[in-house]
Amino acid sequence: MEPTGGDFVAVARRSGTYPGGDGLLRPAAGARSSDTGVGRAVASGVRRALESHLAGPGIDDTSSGTGAVAPPRTLVSPGDLVVLKPNLICESNWNHPGRWEEVVTHPSVIRAVLDEVLAALDGKGRVVICDGPQTDSDFDLLLARTGLGDMIARYRAAGHPVELLDLRRERWLAEGGVTKQKLPLPGDPNGYVRVDLADRSAFATYAGSGRFYGADYDMEETRRFHSGGRHEYVVCATPMMADVFINIPKMKTHKKTGVTLALKNLVGINGYRNCLPHHTIGSPAEGGDEFPDGGIKRSLESRGIQAFKKALTSMGGTGGAWARWVKRAGRTAFGDTSQVIRSGNWYGNDTAWRMVMDLNQILLRYGSDGRRRETPRRYLAVVDGIVGGEGNGPLSPDPVASGVIVAGTNPWAVDWAAALEMGFDPSRIPLLQRPLEDPERFAWLLPGGMPEIVAEGERPAEWRPFRPHFGWAPRLAPEAGPPASGSVG
């Protein structure tokens, strides 16, 4: 099977719960994730989804208890640098600080993948687990709360070559929705890679270039990355150095792209967030996607936001009591973002999906020297959908006992299958449908045909279609559900 061109997607359906306790998250040296209780269900789901995707002569399928030998694996070889990229966006659900399972990739899924990778490496090579979380997240708290930090420490103590990296260069401290301080972080120890996609970019034919809002208050800086035929990104070098990249996203809805799965999860490999266009200023009638409609009130709001961000930029990107007062006044006048569509948080966002496509092209088709590769990078996606997130994703979703692992070597095909598992029509999601409308531009990504989806197991009794973000509700009304197995076209 070709590492990045296959159209086979494996779907393993299991329980909609995760294992807990010291037996799984804090393993004894040498213990496998299939050794304990409910952990067997997660591990067997990952194992089934990974069959024929990894490397080596075949292994005993101890996770299922059958003793069967898996078919030859074709992705990981001894001596490889393997990068695992989970979704570690933040330490908790923004609306429910005590919850996190529906927000980040669960350590039990990371561990199940890690076990298989270490077996394939056979003592030769190394593994780096890394992500660039939300700028205002507390990474240390995330590691402690989920048990991921202890888990990695146990692997290292047992002599396994496993590293864990926070790729961010800064952590922002916020109050009242306003950044008040920016703290420097070590960032990627291997540095950063600049790639200008130019006319290969998904933005190359986009009329809105030059009116982007990025991830910081300085819109002019985002414009410099994307203007005059230039479409440049700064990405972390460690993922770009990987022989094999294994993407382990969380199955969630998303306010700007409809869903966040394998494709969207690559935002976390970016090394400079403000080069990422998130939306285009203005309404569709004005050539933008900031709001679904125009009018005087929307125009006033848009201009007010731009003036506010320009003022904060002049102050170094941080603000104090006056900025928090302005934010409160804005919410009173125009509504809260959790209830009102703004900032491209709706199905008409024509910007964010292009940025996501560009990041995927860079990872798959460019090297750590910033030059285009002759062959695609070896790649695998394993979506954690044991517990998914619906509604106000990605930071404040409600949990869904979806009970599924989705895996494959093509991120677009994996996301198509995962969207079906969520109960959505993938053709109504621009991130998945728009590449089909321009197959020549996206030839680097699209497989030879629609994905062949092979499902194994039964959904949890409590499964139901995901509820989309409210800005996507008109486009993604829940469907009856995906077919049980087979090709989808």
Q: pLDDT by residue (tens digit) across 23-67?
A: 344 443 444 544 444 467 788 888 877 776 765 443 344 443 333
Q: pLDDT by residue (tens digit) across 179-191?
A: 788 899 999 999 9
Instruction: Note the pLDDT of residue 19.
Output: 85
Structure tokens at 374: 């002759």
Instruction: Note the pLDDT of residue 62.
Output: 40
| CA 363 – CA 271 distance, rounded (Å) | 13
For 465, what's the count of Cα atoms within 13 Å in the CB-facing half-sphere? 17
pLDDT(68) > 70: no
| CA 267 – CA 246 distance, rounded (Å) | 14
Instruction: Note the pLDDT of residue 47.
Output: 83
* Average pLDDT of the residues in 143-155: 96
**Position 3 in a domain:** no
Q: pLDDT by residue (tens digit) across 433-478?
A: 999 999 999 999 998 778 889 888 888 888 889 999 999 999 997 6
Q: pLDDT by residue (tens digit) across 251-288?
A: 999 999 999 999 999 999 999 989 999 999 999 988 99
Instruction: Note the pLDDT of residue 336.
Output: 76
Structure tokens at 187: 């960032």
- Give the range of the structural domain holding residue 214, as residue numbers without chain letter: 8-487
**b/e per residue 104-137 (b: at least 16 CB within 10 A):** bbbbbbbbbbbbbbbbbbeeebebbbbbbbbbeb
CB 54 within 8 A of CB 117: yes
**Position 190 in a domain:** yes
Domains of the chain: total? 1
* Average pLDDT of the residues in 319-335: 72
DSSP, collapsed to helix, strand or coil, labels residue 81 as strand
Higher pLDDT, 207 or 478: 207
pLDDT(487) > 60: no
Instruction: Note the pLDDT of residue 380.
Output: 94
Q: How big is the chain, counted in residues?
A: 489
Structure tokens at 352: 């964010």
Instruction: Note the pLDDT of residue 340.
Output: 84
- Which uninterrupted H or E stretch holds 421? helix 411-421
For β-strands 230-236 and 192-196, DSSP reports them as antiparallel
**Position 265 in a domain:** yes
Q: pLDDT by residue (tens digit) across 371-400?
A: 999 999 999 999 999 999 999 999 999 999
- Which uninterrupted H or E stretch holds 244? strand 244-248
Higher pLDDT, 488 or 429: 429
Asked if the bond preceding 394 is cis, omega within 30° of 0, the reply is yes
**Position 2 in a domain:** no
pLDDT(425) > 90: yes
Q: What's the alpha-carbon Rg for the chain, to the nearest Å?
A: 22
Please state the pTM of the whole predicted model: 0.89
For 262-365, where are the alpha helices, taking DSSP H only? 296-314, 321-334, 352-365
Q: pLDDT by residue (tens digit) across 293-314?
A: 877 777 677 777 777 767 766 7
